[in-house]
C-alpha cells in the first residue's frame, strides 16, 4: 500500500464532525496517511476515552480453561505498573489454550461520544500462545484508558462496542479515531473490518510500518519496526510508535499481537490522535485589579489602570493529546487608547513578554520548563495578565476594545472581545429640599406664618479613582435665604449625620446668605467615596407674611472651579383651612343606612365627624374654640350621646348637653379638651343615639343636618335622609267546597270532602277608614282594594295592606257553585311575631239539581191520566273516574224518583259534565214497565242554588228551555253525547214547537216473559263470575195479556249444562207465594211449570214472578264457553220465548307451586281470578271490592265500584301468568 506525506495542510472541520477534508482537493481512500510532526493535520475526535472518571468494577466473564482473579488496586498485580493508579484490575489466567476462549468485559462511564456519556463492551478472543510453555494470562484494568497487559500470548482479536446512556449501540460515521500507542518493535495492530474509505495515520518519522502479520503472511498489519522512541506518554517522540485508525460502524474489530521475540505486551485503546487537536478558545475579561470584578462593557476614566485576564485551558495527555506542547504563547493586541505596562503568567516566572510598540501587540512566550514540568496536561486552566493604563487624553468618544489569542504548537485560537467606553469626569448636581420640623419634605406645600422651616442643600461627591482621579481643591455650599424667613442656625451633615465642630459655616446678614467653605484640612479628609454633604439651615417664616405669598429658594455649590445651582423649592403661605364636617346615619350594627327606610321603634345613630388640622403643617396653633351641634328631626327620640376620637369612644366627656325644647344636642369643647387635642389630623365624632317614634306615617322623609364650629367658623354637614316605612301585611281567604273524593264500598254512597276551591273571586274594600299611627287617613271606608281570586290551593291573598279593618265579599265562582254573598270582615293587625297577617275561611255550597218527572197511566178507555205508584231510577250513563284508584261505573244507580199524582221529584248534588239517564224501575199492577232511557248531561250554567230539569216523554225542560232527548247508541261515546248536546244548545235560540207529554205507562195487553239472573236482588242479563258450587237463581217475569178465556198457562226453562236444579217458587203480582197453584216437573235439565186451570183463569192482565234456584258445577269442558239460556211462556198453546241471558264459566288457572322464595321485585302470592266484570273484561280477584256487577235491563239499577288501579295491576299479573302457562 502506498504511503503519502502531507506538509502544511490546512484542515476545515465541521462543528460536530471530525472527517478529514483537505484543501488540497485530493483525498486518500484506504491509505496510510503520514502526518508531518512540525505541521500536523488539525482534526477533532468525537470519541473521547477519559482519563479521570469514576467507574465501577468491570464485569468480566471468560469461557474455556480460565481462572479469574480481581485486584482492587492494579498496583497489586504483578508484574505490571503501567496502569493508572486508583482503579481495580482483573487477571485472567488460561490453562490449555484452544483458540476458542473468549473474555468479555463490560465497562461503564468510559468517556463520551459527541459530548454524551458512553459505556463499552469489549470481547477478547482468538488467543494464540507462545512456545514457552508458560500459562498465558490477560490483565484488564477497570478503567478502559489504562489499556491491557498480556503475556505468553502472541496474538488476539479485540471486538469493541459502545453504548449510550439509553443502552443504544453507538454507530460511528468516519467521525472518530482509535489509536494504538506504544507499538514496540514486533508489536502489531490491525483494523479487521476497515473499509476502503477509512484511513490509517502514522507520523512522518514513525517507527510503525505496514507489514505482514508474523503468523499470517497474507494479512497486513501496522507493526513496530524499531524502539527508537521514548516510551513515555507526553514525550516528544512518543507519537513515533502510534497508529491511528479512522473508524466507522457500530462494531469495531481489531487484531493485536507480537512476534516471537518478546511475548509480554502492554497496549491501550486511546482516543488521542496524531493530529494537532485545536485548543479551546481563551477567555478574555477586563477588571480594575487582579481578581477584581469584571468591568467589561462599563465606563472607565482617563488615567485609570485596567487589568486584562486571559484564561486558557490545556489538553489531557492520553485523551486528546499524545505529546506535550512544543510551543505555547498568549498574544494580546492592545487598543490605541491604552498604554502597555506589563504582562505575566503567575505559574511561569521564566515566561518572556515582548511588547511591539508599533503594532501595540504584546506576546507572552512560555518557558520549556513550564510546558514540560509545570503543566499537568489534565484539562486544567491557567491565566495570564496584561496591565495597561487608559491614556490621559482619552475622551468619551473613545471605545477601548481588546481581543487576545492563544497559540498552541502551530494552532492559533482567538478569545472573545471585551470593550470599555471612556467617560469624562462629571460632578454630581446639588439638590435642595425644604423640610418641616419632622423632617418631612414640604416642597410646594403650604406653610403658615411663624412656621419653622429647614432648607437642606445636598451635594454628592465623586468616587476617587473611579469617576475622578484626584480630590477636590475647592468645595463650597451657599444658600441665599428668601426675604420672608428669618435665619436661626445652620449645620453640616455627612450622609445625614451631623459633623460636630465643623468650621467654615458663616451667615452674612447683609446678603441674608449662609455659606460653608471647606478648608484644606476638610478637603484632605474628604473620603471621596460617593458620600453626600448637606448644609442644613433652620429658618422661621415671618409672622407678617401675607396669605398667598410663595416663598422660593435656590442654593448653589462650587467644586474646584465649577459652580452649580440647585433646584428651586417653594412653599406658599396660606391661612388655615378647616375641613367641613360630615354626617352619617347608621343602624344598630353601625352600618350606613343613608337614603334607606326605617320603621317605628328602630334604633339609629347620627354620627357627625369633624377632622381637625395638623399642627405646624396646615395650622400654626391649636384651636381656641371647637363645638358640634345636631338639631334632631321630629320623627326621632333622643336617647344618648358620646364623643369618639378616630372611632374610639372617649370616656368621661362632660361637655355634651341636650335641649328638649329645640330637640338639639351640643358638644362644646372646654379649655382642657382643647389643650389635650393632638391636632394631628385626627377625627372627632359626636355620636347621637336615637329612636324612631311610633307615631309616624309611611314614606315620610326624616332629614337631618348638623354643624360644627372651629374658632367661631361655622360649617354645616351634608344632609342625611331616611324614609319611614310602615309594616304592611296580607289577608288570606281560604275557600273550600265539598268535592267528590271516593265512594263508600258498602253503601255505595258518594263521599265528599271539604277541599280548596280554585277560581273564586272576592272584592276587597276598606270596612273602616285606614288610619296610620300619625293619624293620617290613607283610605276611607269603602275604598276599593281590587279583587283577589283563589288559586289551586283554594287561597286568595291580598298583599300590601296597612293595618286596619277590611271586608271581603264573594263576587264570582265557577259555575255549579253557589256564591255566598255574606261579607267577611277581617281585622288586619300585628300578631305575636309582630307581622301583619289575617286569615279568613269560607265554604261555598254546591248547586243542587232538581229532577221533576211527569207521569201518566193508560186507562181502560185508552186515555192517559195522572196516577201514583211508579218509581224511576237516576243512573250514571258512563263511568266517572273519581281518582287514580276509584271510578263509578256506567249504569250505577244514583237515586230514585217516586211518582205521586202524576209527578215525582228528586234533588241532590250531581257531578258536573256527567251524563245521566232516567229509567222506570217499577210500576203499578197491570201496567207494563217503561224501559226507555231518558238521557241528560248536567252542565252547570249558573251559580244558582238549584238547577231544574223537568222530564217528559218527548223532551225535557232545563232551566225553562225545552230540549230534545239525545239517546246514545252503544257505539256512541261520551264525546259524541257532548257533541249532540252542544248542537242542541246551539239550536236553543229557535224555540221548539212541540207539545210536551208525560212519560206514559201502558196497560198489559200482550203475553210476555222476560228472564233475568237474580244476584242479591239485582237483575242481570249477563253473569261472568261463576264459581264452582255457586248458587245461581234465575227469575222469569211473566205478563198475561188480554184473553177472552185462559185455558192453560205453561212456562218452562232448559238449564245449561252444569246447572243443577235445587228449588223453585212462584209469586203473584203482589208478591204472594202461589207455588201451590202450579204443578212442575223436572226432567234432567228441563223444568216445566203448569198453572192449575182454576188459578190460570184468574190471571187475565196480570203478572207472575218465577224463581228457579240452581247450583253450578264446573267441568273442564266448560272452559272458554258461554252459556245461553232463555225461558218459554205458552198461553192457550201460543208460545212466547223470553230474552236470552248469558253466563260465563270461571277462568281456571293452573297454579304451579314453587319452592323458590319470592323475588325482591315481586313477593306477592299468586292468586286465581274468580271471575270477570261484565263487558269490561277486567279481571276481578276480590269480590269485596264490588257492590254490584250488573247491567240494568229495566228493573233495579246496580252500582258498580271499580278500583281501576287494582284491577289493572291484577290484570297484568293475570296476563303474565297466562303467558307462563
**Which segments of 165-279 are extended strands (E)?**
172-180, 187-191, 200-203, 208-213, 216-224, 243-249, 252-258, 264-267, 269-270
Of the two residues 1150 and 795, the one the predictor is more confident about is 795
Q: Which pLDDT score, from 0 to 100, does residue 1163 have? A: 41
Helix (H) or strand (E) holding 172: strand 172-180
Cβ(342)–Cβ(362) under 8 Å? no
Q: What tens digit of pLDDT does each residue of 1146-1189 get? A: 754 444 444 444 444 444 433 333 333 333 333 222 222 222 22
Length of the chain: 1221
- For the ranges 202-216, 610-624, 1162-1176, the lowest mean pLDDT is seen at 1162-1176
Of the two residues 1190 and 533, the one the predictor is more confident about is 533
Q: Which CATH superfamily is domain 848-957 in?
A: Immunoglobulins (2.60.40.10)
Q: Which pLDDT score, from 0 to 100, does residue 126 have? A: 95
Residues 224-249: what's their mean pLDDT? Answer: 85
User: Taking 80 as the threshold, does the pLDDT of residue 44 lie above it?
Assistant: no
User: Taking 90 as the threshold, does the pLDDT of residue 966 lie above it?
Assistant: no
Q: Which pLDDT score, from 0 to 100, does residue 991 have? A: 52
Residue 1213's pLDDT band (cuts 50, 70, 90): low
User: Taking 80 as the threshold, does the pLDDT of residue 7 lie above it?
Assistant: no
Query: Residue 87's closest CA among 144, 49, 141?
Result: 141
Q: Which pLDDT score, from 0 to 100, does residue 984 have? A: 44
Round to whole Å and give the CA distance between 10 and 42.
7
User: Taking 60 as the threshold, does the pLDDT of residue 1205 lie above it?
Assistant: no
Q: Which pLDDT score, from 0 to 100, does residue 705 have? A: 97
Cβ(453)–Cβ(581) under 8 Å? no
Residue 197: C-alpha distances to residues 1, 19, 29, 383 (Å): 14, 11, 5, 43
3-state secondary structure 821-860: CCCEEEEECECCCCCEEEEEEEEECECEEEEEEEEEEECC
Q: Which pLDDT score, from 0 to 100, does residue 1162 have? A: 41
Round to whole Å and give the CA distance between 1000 and 934.
13
Residue 615's pLDDT band (cuts 50, 70, 90): confident
User: Taking 70 as the threshold, does the pLDDT of residue 820 lie above it?
Assistant: yes
User: Taking 50 as the threshold, does the pLDDT of residue 149 lie above it?
Assistant: yes
Residues 1044-1070: what's their mean pLDDT? Answer: 93
Q: Which fold has domain 729-841?
A: Immunoglobulin-like (2.60.40)
Q: Which pLDDT score, from 0 to 100, does residue 116 have? A: 94
- For the ranges 41-55, 444-458, 588-602, 965-979, the lowest mean pLDDT is seen at 965-979
The CATH classification of domain 1022-1143, taken from the options 3.40.50.2000, 3.30.470.20, 2.60.40.740, 3.40.50.300: 2.60.40.740
Residue partners of 310: CB distance under 8 A and separation at least 6 = 282, 283, 284, 330, 332, 383, 384, 385, 386, 404, 406, 415
Cβ(47)–Cβ(249) under 8 Å? no
Query: Residue 370's closest CA among 351, 390, 356?
Result: 351
Q: Which pLDDT score, from 0 to 100, does residue 1185 have? A: 27
User: Taking 80 as the threshold, does the pLDDT of residue 60 lie above it?
Assistant: yes
What CATH number does the domain located at 283-423 have? 2.60.40.740
Q: What is the dihedral of CA 244, 246, 251, 256, to 10 degrees?
A: -30
Q: What tens digit of pLDDT does each residue of 703-759 get? A: 999 999 998 889 999 999 999 999 999 999 999 999 999 988 777 789 999 999 999
Of the two residues 133 and 1050, the one the predictor is more confident about is 1050
The CATH classification of domain 33-270, taken from the options 2.60.120.260, 3.40.50.880, 1.20.1080.10, 2.60.530.10: 2.60.530.10
Q: What tens digit of pLDDT does each residue of 409-453 get? A: 888 999 999 999 887 777 899 999 999 888 999 999 888 877 889
Q: Which pLDDT score, from 0 to 100, does residue 654 have? A: 79
Round to whole Å and give the CA distance between 76 and 54.
20
**Which segments of 744-823 are extended strands (E)?**
750-756, 761-766, 770-771, 777-779, 784-789, 795-801, 804-812
Q: Across all residues in the chain, what is the average pLDDT?
A: 85
Q: Give bridge partners of residue 421 from the DSSP assignment.
A: 299, 399
Q: Which pLDDT score, from 0 to 100, does residue 847 have? A: 92
User: Taking 90 as the threshold, does the pLDDT of residue 1190 lie above it?
Assistant: no
User: Taking 80 as the threshold, does the pLDDT of residue 974 lie above it?
Assistant: no
> Exposed/middle/buried for 790, CB within 10 Å: 0-12, 13-18, 19+?
buried
Residue 946's pLDDT band (cuts 50, 70, 90): very high
- For the ranges 14-23, 78-87, 381-390, 874-883, the lowest mean pLDDT is seen at 14-23
- For the ranges 54-68, 219-233, 811-825, the lowest mean pLDDT is seen at 219-233
Q: Which pLDDT score, from 0 to 100, does residue 947 have? A: 95
The CATH classification of domain 430-573, taken from the options 2.60.40.740, 1.10.10.10, 3.40.50.300, 2.60.120.200: 2.60.40.740
Residue 969's pLDDT band (cuts 50, 70, 90): low
User: Taking 70 as the threshold, does the pLDDT of residue 1009 lie above it?
Assistant: yes
Cβ(467)–Cβ(423) under 8 Å? yes
User: Taking 70 as the threshold, does the pLDDT of residue 34 lie above it?
Assistant: yes
Q: Which pLDDT score, from 0 to 100, does residue 944 have? A: 93
Round to whole Å and give the CA distance between 1172 and 291.
117
- For the ranges 206-215, 463-472, 897-906, 1116-1125, the lowest mean pLDDT is seen at 463-472
Residue partners of 426: CB distance under 8 A and separation at least 6 = 467
Domain ranges of the chain: 33-270, 283-423, 430-573, 582-724, 729-841, 848-957, 1022-1143
The CATH classification of domain 582-724, taken from the options 3.20.20.140, 3.40.1280.10, 3.90.400.10, 2.60.40.740: 2.60.40.740
Round to whole Å and give the CA distance between 851 and 903.
10
User: Taking 70 as the threshold, does the pLDDT of residue 971 lie above it?
Assistant: no
Q: What tens digit of pLDDT does each residue of 1019-1056 get? A: 788 887 788 999 999 999 998 988 889 999 999 999 99
Residue 737: what are its φ and ψ, rounded to 5°?
A: -140, 160
Residues 121-150: what's their mean pLDDT? Answer: 89
User: Taking 70 as the threshold, does the pLDDT of residue 601 lie above it?
Assistant: yes
Residues 83-104: what's their mean pLDDT? Answer: 90
Q: Which pLDDT score, from 0 to 100, does residue 80 have? A: 59
Q: Which pLDDT score, from 0 to 100, does residue 577 have? A: 84
Please give the radius of gyration of the chain, using alpha carbons only, rounded to the nearest integer. 67
Residues 1085-1106: what's their mean pLDDT? Answer: 92
Residue 1199, SS3 per DSSP: coil
Query: Residue 48's closest CA among 110, 121, 108?
Result: 110
User: Taking 70 as the threshold, does the pLDDT of residue 1209 lie above it?
Assistant: no
Residue partners of 417: CB distance under 8 A and separation at least 6 = 284, 401, 402, 403
- For the ranges 144-148, 556-560, 869-873, 1146-1150, the lowest mean pLDDT is seen at 1146-1150
Q: Which pLDDT score, from 0 to 100, does residue 68 have? A: 94
Per CATH, 33-270 and 430-573 having the same topology is answered no
User: Taking 60 as the threshold, does the pLDDT of residue 386 lie above it?
Assistant: yes
Q: Which pLDDT score, from 0 to 100, does residue 377 have? A: 84
User: Taking 60 as the threshold, does the pLDDT of residue 1085 lie above it?
Assistant: yes
Give the rounded percent of residues in the chain with a pLDDT score beyond 70. 87
Cβ(560)–Cβ(473) under 8 Å? yes
User: Taking 50 as the threshold, does the pLDDT of residue 871 lie above it?
Assistant: yes
**Which segments of 345-451 are extended strands (E)?**
352-356, 361-365, 381-390, 399-408, 411-423, 431-435
Q: Which pLDDT score, from 0 to 100, does residue 1196 have? A: 32
Specify the pairing of strand 893-898 against strand 903-909.
unpaired
Residues 1075-1081: what's their mean pLDDT? Answer: 96
Query: Residue 323's closest CA among 334, 310, 314?
Result: 314
Residues 680-707: what's their mean pLDDT? Answer: 95
Amino acid at each position: 500500500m502506498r504511503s503519502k506525506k502531507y506538509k502544511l495542510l490546512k484542515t476545515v472541520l465541521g462543528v460536530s464532525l471530525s472527517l478529514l477534508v483537505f484543501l488540497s482537493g485530493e483525498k486518500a481512500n484506504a491509505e496510510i496517511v503520514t502526518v508531518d510532526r512540525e505541521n500536523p493535520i488539525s482534526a477533532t475526535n468525537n470519541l473521547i476515552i477519559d482519563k479521570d472518571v469514576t467507574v465501577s468494577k468491570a464485569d468480566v466473564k471468560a469461557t474455556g480453561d480460565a481462572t479469574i482473579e480481581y485486584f482492587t488496586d492494579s498496583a497489586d498485580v504483578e508484574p505490571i505498573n503501567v496502569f493508572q493508579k486508583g482503579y481495580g484490575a482483573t487477571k485472567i489466567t488460561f490453562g490449555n489454550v484452544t483458540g476458542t476462549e473468549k473474555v468479555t468485559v463490560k465497562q461503564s462511564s468510559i468517556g463520551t461520544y459527541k459530548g454524551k456519556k458512553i459505556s463499552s463492551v469489549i470481547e477478547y478472543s482468538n488467543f494464540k500462545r507462545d512456545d514457552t510453555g508458560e500459562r498465558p494470562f490477560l490483565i484488564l484494568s477497570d478503567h478502559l484508558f489504562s489499556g491491557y497487559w498480556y503475556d505468553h500470548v502472541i496474538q488476539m482479536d479485540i471486538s469493541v462496542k459502545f453504548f449510550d446512556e439509553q443502552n443504544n449501540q453507538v454507530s460511528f460515521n468516519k467521525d472518530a479515531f482509535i489509536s494504538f500507542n506504544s507499538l514496540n518493535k514486533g508489536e502489531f495492530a490491525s483494523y479487521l473490518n476497515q473499509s476502503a474509505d477509512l484511513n490509517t495515520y502514522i507520523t512522518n518519522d514513525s517507527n510503525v510500518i505496514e507489514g505482514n502479520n508474523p503468523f499470517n503472511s497474507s494479512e497486513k498489519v501496522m507493526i513496530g519496526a524499531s524502539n527508537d522512541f521514548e516510551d513515555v506518554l507526553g514525550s516528544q517522540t512518543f507519537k513515533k510508535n502510534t497508529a491511528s485508525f479512522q473508524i466507522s460502524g457500530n462494531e469495531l474489530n481489531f487484531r493485536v499481537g507480537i512476534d516471537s521475540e518478546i511475548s509480554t505486551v502492554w497496549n491501550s485503546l486511546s482516543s488521542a490522535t496524531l493530529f494537532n487537536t485545536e485548543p479551546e478558545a481563551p477567555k478574555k475579561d477586563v477588571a480594575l485589579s487582579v481578581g477584581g470584578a469584571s468591568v467589561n462593557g462599563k465606563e472607565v476614566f482617563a488615567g485609570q489602570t485596567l487589568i486584562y485576564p486571559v484564561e486558557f485551558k490545556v489538553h489531557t495527555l492520553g485523551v486528546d493529546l499524545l505529546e506535550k506542547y512544543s510551543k505555547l504563547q498568549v498574544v494580546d493586541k492592545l487598543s490605541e487608547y491604552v498604554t502597555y505596562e506589563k504582562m505575566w503568567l503567575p505559574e511561569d516566572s521564566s515566561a518572556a513578554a515582548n511588547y511591539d510598540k508599533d503594532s501595540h501587540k504584546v506576546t507572552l512566550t512560555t518557558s520549556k520548563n513550564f510546558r514540560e514540568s509545570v503543566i499537568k496536561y489534565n484539562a486544567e486552566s491557567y491565566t495570564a495578565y496584561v496591565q495597561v493604563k487608559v491614556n490621559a487624553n482619552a475622551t468619551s468618544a473613545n471605545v477601548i476594545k481588546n481581543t487576545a489569542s492563544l497559540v498552541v504548537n502551530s494552532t492559533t485560537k482567538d478569545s472573545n472581545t471585551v470593550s470599555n467606553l471612556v467617560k469624562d469626569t462629571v460632578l454630581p448636581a446639588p439638590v435642595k429640599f425644604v423640610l418641616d420640623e419632622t423632617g418631612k419634605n414640604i416642597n410646594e406645600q403650604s406653610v403658615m406664618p411663624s412656621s419653622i422651616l429647614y432648607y437642606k442643600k445636598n451635594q454628592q461627591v465623586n468616587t476617587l479613582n473611579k469617576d475622578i482621579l484626584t480630590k477636590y481643591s475647592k468645595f463650597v455650599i451657599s444658600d441665599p435665604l428668601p426675604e420672608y424667613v428669618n435665619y436661626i442656625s445652620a449645620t453640616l451633615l455627612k450622609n445625614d449625620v451631623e459633623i460636630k465642630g465643623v468650621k467654615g459655616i458663616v451667615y452674612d446678614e447683609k446678603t441674608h446668605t449662609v455659606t460653608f467653605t471647606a478648608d484644606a484640612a476638610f478637603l484632605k479628609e474628604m473620603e471621596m467615596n460617593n458620600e453626600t454633604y448637606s448644609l442644613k439651615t433652620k429658618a422661621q417664616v415671618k409672622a407678617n407674611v401675607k396669605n398667598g405669598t410663595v416663598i422660593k429658594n435656590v442654593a448653589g455649590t462650587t467644586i474646584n472651579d465649577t459652580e452649580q445651582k440647585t433646584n428651586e423649592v417653594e412653599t406658599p403661605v396660606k391661612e388655615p383651612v378647616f375641613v367641613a364636617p360630615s354626617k352619617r346615619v347608621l343602624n344598630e350594627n353601625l352600618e350606613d343606612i343613608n337614603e334607606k327606610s326605617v320603621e317605628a321603634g328602630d334604633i339609629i345613630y347620627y354620627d357627625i365627624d369633624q377632622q381637625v388640622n395638623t399642627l405646624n403643617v396646615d395650622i400654626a396653633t391649636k384651636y381656641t374654640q371647637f363645638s358640634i351641634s345636631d338639631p334632631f328631626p321630629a320623627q326621632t327620640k333622643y336617647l344618648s350621646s358620646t364623643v369618639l376620637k378616630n372611632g374610639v369612644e372617649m370616656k368621661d366627656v362632660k361637655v355634651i348637653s341636650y335641649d328638649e325644647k329645640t330637640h338639639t344636642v351640643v358638644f362644646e369643647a372646654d379649655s382642657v379638651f382643647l389643650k389635650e387635642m393632638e391636632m394631628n389630623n385626627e377625627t372627632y365624632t359626636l355620636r347621637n343615639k336615637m329612636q324612631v317614634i311610633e307615631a309616624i306615617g309611611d314614606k315620610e322623609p326624616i332629614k337631618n343636618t348638623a354643624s360644627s364650629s372651629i374658632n367661631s367658623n361655622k360649617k354645616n354637614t351634608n344632609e342625611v335622609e331616611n324614609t319611614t316605612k310602615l309594616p304592611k301585611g296580607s289577608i288570606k281567604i281560604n275557600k273550600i267546597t265539598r268535592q267528590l273524593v271516593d265512594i263508600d264500598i258498602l253503601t255505595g254512597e258518594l263521599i265528599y270532602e271539604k277541599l280548596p276551591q280554585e277560581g273564586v273571586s272576592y272584592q276587597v274594600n276598606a270596612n273602616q277608614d285606614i288610619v296610620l299611627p300619625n293619624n293620617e287617613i290613607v283610605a276611607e271606608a269603602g275604598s276599593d282594594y281590587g279583587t283577589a281570586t283563589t288559586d289551586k290551593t283554594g287561597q286568595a291573598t291580598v298583599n300590601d295592606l296597612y293595618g286596619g279593618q277590611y271586608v271581603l265579599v264573594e263576587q264570582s265562582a265557577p259555575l255549579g257553585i253557589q256564591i255566598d254573598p255574606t261579607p267577611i270582615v277581617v281585622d288586619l293587625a300585628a300578631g305575636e311575631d309582630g307581622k301583619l297577617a289575617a286569615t279568613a275561611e269560607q265554604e261555598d255550597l254546591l248547586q243542587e239539581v232538581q229532577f221533576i218527572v211527569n207521569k201518566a197511566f193508560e186507562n181502560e178507555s185508552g186515555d192517559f191520566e195522572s196516577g201514583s205508584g211508579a218509581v224511576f231510577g237516576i243512573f250514571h250513563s258512563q263511568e266517572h273516574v273519581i281518582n287514580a284508584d276509584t271510578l263509578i261505573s256506567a249504569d250505577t244507580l244514583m237515586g230514585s224518583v217516586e211518582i205521586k199524582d202524576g209527578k215525582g221529584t228528586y234533588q241532590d248534588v250531581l257531578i258536573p259534565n256527567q251524563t245521566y239517564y232516567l229509567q222506570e224501575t217499577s210500576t203499578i199492577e197491570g201496567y207494563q214497565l217503561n224501559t226507555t232511557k231518558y238521557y241528560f248531561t248536567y252542565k252547570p250554567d249558573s251559580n244558582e242554588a238549584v238547577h231544574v230539569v223537568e222530564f217528559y216523554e218527548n223532551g225535557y225542560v232545563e232551566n225553562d228551555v225545552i230540549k230534545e232527548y239525545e239517546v246514545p247508541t252503544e257505539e256512541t261515546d261520551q264525546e259524541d253525547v257532548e257533541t249532540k248536546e252542544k248542537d242542541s244548545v246551539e239550536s236553543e235560540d229557535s224555540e221548539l214547537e212541540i207539545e210536551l207529554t208525560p212519560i206514559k205507562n201502558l196497560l198489559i195487553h200482550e203475553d210476555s216473559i222476560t228472564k233475568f239472573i237474580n244476584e242479591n236482588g239485582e237483575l242481570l242479563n249477563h253473569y261472568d263470575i261463576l264459581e264452582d258450587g255457586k248458587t245461581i237463581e234465575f227469575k222469569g217475569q211473566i205478563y198475561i195479556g188480554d184473553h177472552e178465556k185462559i185455558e192453560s198457562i205453561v212456562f218452562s226453562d232448559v238449564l245449561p249444562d252444569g246447572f243443577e236444579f235445587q228449588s223453585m217458587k212462584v209469586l203473584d203480582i203482589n208478591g204472594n207465594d202461589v207455588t201451590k197453584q202450579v204443578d212442575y216437573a223436572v226432567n234432567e235439565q228441563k223444568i216445566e211449570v203448569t198453572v192449575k186451570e182454576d188459578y190460570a183463569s184468574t190471571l187475565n192482565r196480570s203478572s207472575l214472578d218465577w224463581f228457579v234456584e240452581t247450583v253450578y258445577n264446573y267441568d273442564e269442558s266448560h272452559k272458554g264457553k258461554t252459556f245461553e239460556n232463555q225461558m218459554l211462556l205458552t198461553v192457550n198453546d201460543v208460545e212466547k220465548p223470553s230474552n236470552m241471558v248469558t253466563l260465563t264459566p270461571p277462568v281456571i288457572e293452573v297454579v304451579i307451586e314453587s319452592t323458590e322464595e319470592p323475588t325482591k321485585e315481586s313477593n306477592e302470592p299468586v292468586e286465581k281470578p274468580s271471575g270477570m266484570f261484565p263487558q269490561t273484561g277486567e279481571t276481578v280477584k276480590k269480590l269485596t271490592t264490588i257492590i254490584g256487577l250488573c247491567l240494568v235491563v229495566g228493573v233495579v239499577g246496580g252500582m258498580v265500584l271499580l278500583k281501576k288501579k287494582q284491577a289493572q295491576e291484577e290484570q297484568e299479573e293475570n296476563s303474565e301468568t297466562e303467558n307462563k302457562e
